[in-house]
Amino acid sequence: MLWIPLAAALLISLGVIWYVIWPLVNGNPAPVLIEDDRLTELLTRKDAALQSIKELEFDYQVGKVAPEDYERFNQQLRRQAIGLLQQIEKIAPEVGQLDDAVEAEIARYRKVQPGLTPALAAATIAAPALPHNANGEITNGSVGSAHRFCTQCGQPIGADHKFCAHCGTPVAV
Amino acid sequence: MIFNLGYLILVTALVLSVYGLIAGFWGGGRRNTRLIQSSYNATYGVAGLVTLASIILWYGLLTDQFQVVYVWNHSERALPTFYKFAAMWGGQDGSLLFWCLILTGYSVAVMIFFRHKQQQLMPYVSATMHGTVLFFLVLLVFAANPFRMVAFIPPDGQGLNPLLQNYWMVIHPVMLYLGYVGLAVPFAFAVGALLNGRVGADWGRIVRRWTLVPWMFLAAGILMGSQWAYMELGWGGYWAWDPVENASFLPWLTATAFLHSIIIQEQRGSLKAWNMIMVWMTYFLVILGTFTTRSGIIESVHSFARSDVGIYFLVFLVIVLFGYLILLLMRWSILRDEHQVDSLLSRESAFVANNWLFTGIAFATLWGTFFPLFSEIITRERISVAAPFFNKVNGPLFILLLVLMGIGPLMGWRRTTPAALRKQFTWPVTVTLLFAATFTFFSRQPYAIVGLAACVFVTATVVQEYVRGVIARRTTNNESPPVAMGNLLRRNGRRYGGYIVHIGIVLIGVAVVGNSFYQSTTSVTLDTGEGVTLSGYRLVYQGMEQRRQANLTEYAAILQVQAADAGTVFGSIAPRRNIYDKAPDMPTSEVGLRMTIFEDVYVVLNGWDQNGAQATFTIYVNPLTIWMWIGGVVLVLGTLVAIWPHPTGQRATAAVPTQAAGVPA
């Protein structure tokens, strides 16, 4: 009677093993590994910069940040966001512009501008012009992967550079 | 028969997880998408097999298959079905299988959620999860087989450990497992980031959500364990710094530090090294905690499950420790800070101080837990380290942490000017000092005053934050106060949900102070009709009652609770002793409890004689203890607010406005 569980275990195991090795043996062309490309990284950093701007404004409104500090940091963050948008612009020209885009993005985050109803805000966010996969994610080719970016202007920094080649800000060690 | 099948499919699962581990690391390194997909399929396959094995064991438990040794040892015919189901995690082997089940569940959830994202990272994440699953499958197949059988069918089982036949003891391990096991996910992401050679800008955001959920479960599990201890063990307290309590607390400490510190990494790109180390420590402490509970290496009231799994755990712990250390050192350069801390008076500094405090508490707790073991190894004499050590060392550190909990959120990013400091701290500090001054009229206990003052301080800062936040939204958006409040929670859920969690912690702190410093107690033997007075209550013994349940007899002593001065009757409480049929020498104590928001009346039945004409009690009056459980609920609610997806939703991969404005040259 011992052969019954053995046979059942064998059947189940073979089924699962077949499922596991199927990607190795099927005749379909191998799927392409979509690199976490530079564009996604830039977009994430741009999002983070805009989020920081929003938080800074809020902190200023509740009194945690002094006015002079608010001005200074606000300018820094906006320069950073603009720099990042410039980078994004270079890779995918259809995406984003500069100051106007920054303002629109901030408005989108805040959804506060008088007259800018949610419907209007949604309408200003036009359909993306970038190629998308089924999940709506941007799938652009890789444009090389620099690992570090200047935190002032958003330009990439070489691996062994001590200063940003674009704006001269020293690199934090 | 079917149980042989159960064992064999665990063997298959083990082989597949070895394969998945190798395929994930190799495929990820070579960017071989076929291998990677195969590794993902192995995740689903292993999950399916482990689920099937679990169902088989549950079948055995629920249908009284006592030829299975595990079912024989942990169940009986008369056991209520609810406990038969829970007997799965009532002993070593079954609970390891349950661990594995939850782990594969988390693996599948991660793989499904990220199946189209983070494609450079996920192969390594998959491989690391396989590695953890592999360890537990090795235990199950070689050292703790839940499907071991005997050649005959015993007529009945030995029953479940009486201490476990309690609602809280059923739900507490489940919560703890959901927490413990879930903390393997952030570790897998850390390994992935290090192997990938970069910590991406969104890594922090991803990992934070996948840490918050298990963290919440772990916190809930720890609190439920405390509640069980309070209601079952009958010593008037809820936390004894027992080695296994500490084992669950340690990863919670490092995970909490990590959750806060990762915010800095997201915002400022700093503290990457701290975060990588803390996530490593959390995982290590999870495995260490699982090991401590099961190996019997530290004597404890929990070490009911001793077997030969100890050596396996030791080997795995060494692998985790040294393997990750090597990886960390190899990739140290990618963990450089992008920004320095600009000023001591900044939120960043507060977070660094937070890291140090949590690490300090974790270290002290770890030291105290393992010191007896090392003292025995080195000096052959077991020096016991008990609650007084932990309270003395951790108490002040926790108070400092409370104070920091109030200070940190009021600081600005980068730096806070003296003017801003004045604006932020004037009101909370004033309220705190007023409170402290008033409270000294009622009590002279210094630690209690400081502790409660810290709690008041944090509450004042949170209230101020909410008020100012609502005012800010009203000024900018013209929202009414309720709408503004709702929007604060929706749009800034991380911050304002976090504040709610802090309030939960404050409530727990208040309960701790009340119970630790203001408890009153007495032990007394009463005849029927005789009463005793304690802290404004008068308890009058009425007599004993006896009641049969399915597998036990309950002996209850009825006491009427009255106000000591006016004689108003509040009600009655009935402390019990349960004598289990299958374990008559292991009676459990059910505390008689009357909870109000001010204090608990807590009675333990120690014994009785002369058929209940006389009974012996230990009575406690515990101020403010209910706030610990309320604080736990508040903590969970706050976490849910913090996890809730942001309404704007769209992140880096979202549509971007393509307006007509031209691009400047």
Listing DSSP states for B600-624 in one string gives EEEEEEEEEEGGGTEEEEEEEEEET
pLDDT value for B298: 62
Q: Which of A2, A64, A104 is nearest residue B411 as measured by Cβ atoms? A: A64
Q: What is the pLDDT of residues B581-595, one digit of tens each?
A: 888 888 888 899 999
The candidate with the shortest Cα–Cα distance to B162, out of B262, B78, B59, is B78
Q: Are residues B297 and B438 in the same domain?
A: no
What is the tens place of the pLDDT at every residue in A6-16?
898 899 999 99
Q: Provide DSSP, B388-447.
A: HHHHHHHHHHHHHHHHHHHHGGGSPSS---HHHHHHHHHHHHHHHHHHHHHHTTT---HH
Q: With CB atoms and an 8 Å threshold, state whether A64 touches B410.
A: yes
- H helix intervals, B239-386: 243-268, 272-295, 310-330, 347-379
* Cα–Cα nearest to B324, from B182, B124, B138, B190: B190
A6 contacts in chain B (CB < 8 Å): 4, 8
**Domain span at residue B297?**
186-335+348-402
Please list every residue in chain B whose beta carbon sits closer than 8 Å to the beta carbon of residue A96.
656-658
Q: What is the pLDDT of residue A154?
A: 67
| Six token digits for residue B401 | 């942490």
Q: Would you say residue B367 lies in a domain?
A: yes
**Overall domain count for chain B:** 4
Average pLDDT over residues B187-208: 89
β pairing state of B520-527 and B614-623: antiparallel
CB count in 10 Å sphere of residue B550: 11
- A35, A48, A59: residue with CB nearest B120: A35
Same-domain check for residues B512 and B566: no
- For residues B203 and B257, state if they share a domain: yes
Could you tell me which chain B residue has the CA closest to the CA of A65?
A: B412
Across the interface, of B119, B198, B469, the residue whose CB is closest to A147 is B198
CATH of the domain at A75: 1.20.1440
User: Measured between CB atoms, does A94 come within 8 Å of chain B?
Assistant: yes
Q: Which residues of B touch A147 (CB under 8 A)?
A: 197-198, 334
Pairwise CA distance, residues B313 & B297, whole Å? 12
* Domains of chain A: total: 1
Q: Which of B464, B656, B659, B663 to substitute to test the interface with A, most A CBs within 10 Å?
A: B656
Is residue A164 assigned to a domain?
Answer: no
Residues B145 and B209 in one domain: no
Domain span at A74:
38-126
Using a CB–CB cutoff of 8 Å, tell me whether B286 touches chain A. no
Average pLDDT estimate for B92-97: 92
B141/B42 same-domain check: yes
Q: Is residue A76 part of a domain?
A: yes
What number of residues does chain A have? 173
Give the number of A-B residue pairs with CB atoms closer than 8 Å: 203
Shared domain for B219 and B290, answered yes or no, is yes
Task: Give the span between the Cα atoms of B85 and B65, in whole angstroms.
Answer: 13
pLDDT band per the 50, 70, 90 thresholds, residue B663: very low
Q: Please report the pLDDT score of residue A43 as a whole number.
A: 83
Q: For the whole model, what pTM was predicted?
A: 0.86
Closest among B336, B221, B32, B1 to A9, alpha carbons compared: B1
Q: Which residue of B has its CA nearest to A5?
A: B5
Helix (H, G, I), strand (E, B) or coil at B131: helix
- Tens digit of pLDDT for each residue in B443-485? 888 989 999 999 999 999 999 999 999 998 888 888 888 988 9
Same domain? For B494 and B387 the reply is no
B410/B424 Cα distance (integer angstroms): 6
Reduced to 3 states (helix: H, G, I; strand: E, B; else coil), residue B298 is coil
CB contact under 8 A, A108 and B419: no
Q: Are B409 and B497 in contact (CB under 8 A)?
A: no
Please report which helix (H) or strand (E) contains residue B590, including its range: strand B583-590
Asked if A33 lies within 8 A of B201 by C-beta distance, the reply is: no
pLDDT digits (tens, 9 = 90+) for B334-370: 888 877 777 888 888 999 999 999 999 999 999 999 8
Structure ipTM: 0.80
Tell whether B363 and B438 lie within a shared domain. Answer: no
Contact at 8 Å (CB) between B355 and B261? yes
Give the Cα-Cα-Cα angle B226, B229, B234 (nearest 5 degrees): 140
pLDDT of residue B259: 94
Q: Which residues of B touch A116 (CB under 8 A)?
A: none
Separation between Cα atoms, residue B364 and residue B359, nearest integer Å: 9
In this structure, the answer to whether residues B225 and B135 fall within a common structural domain is no
The reply to whether B634 falls in a domain is: yes
Structure tokens at A88: 């994004």
User: B434 and B583 share a domain?
Assistant: no
Residue A131 domain flag? no
Domain assignment present for residue A10? The answer is no
Residues B212 and B190 in one domain: yes
| One-letter identity of residue B115 | R
The answer to whether B16 faces chain A, any CB pair under 8 Å, is yes
Establish if A156 belongs to a structural domain.
Answer: no
Yes or no, beta carbons of B414 and A73 under 8 Å apart: yes
- Residue B2 C-alpha, separation from nearest chain A C-alpha, in angstroms: 6
Residues of chain B contacting A127 with CB distance shorter than 8 Å: 655
Percent of all residues in chain A with a pLDDT value above 90, rounded to a whole number: 8
Q: Which DSSP letter does residue A27 get?
A: S
Q: Which of B203, B194, B207 is nearest to B333 (CA)?
A: B194
B423 touches chain A (CB under 8 A): yes
Query: Which one of B39, B339, B653 would you mutate to disrupt binding with A, by most A Cβ within 10 Å of its Cβ?
Result: B653
In this structure, what CATH number is given to the domain that contains residue B619?
2.60.98
Q: Model confidence at B146, in pLDDT bands (50, 70, 90)?
A: very high
CA distances from B523 to B69, B542, B559 (A): 43, 17, 14
State pLDDT tens for residues A24-45. Answer: 888 777 777 766 567 777 888 8
Is A7 within a domain? no
- Res B256 pLDDT > 90: yes
- CA distances B459 to B346, B495, B636, Å, are 20, 15, 18
In a domain, A33, yes or no: no
Whether residues B198 and B307 fall in one domain: yes
DSSP assignments along B14-81, one per residue:
HHHHHHHHHHHHHHHHHT-HHHHHHHHHHHHHHHHHHHHHHHHHHHHHHTT-TTBHHHHHH--TTS-H
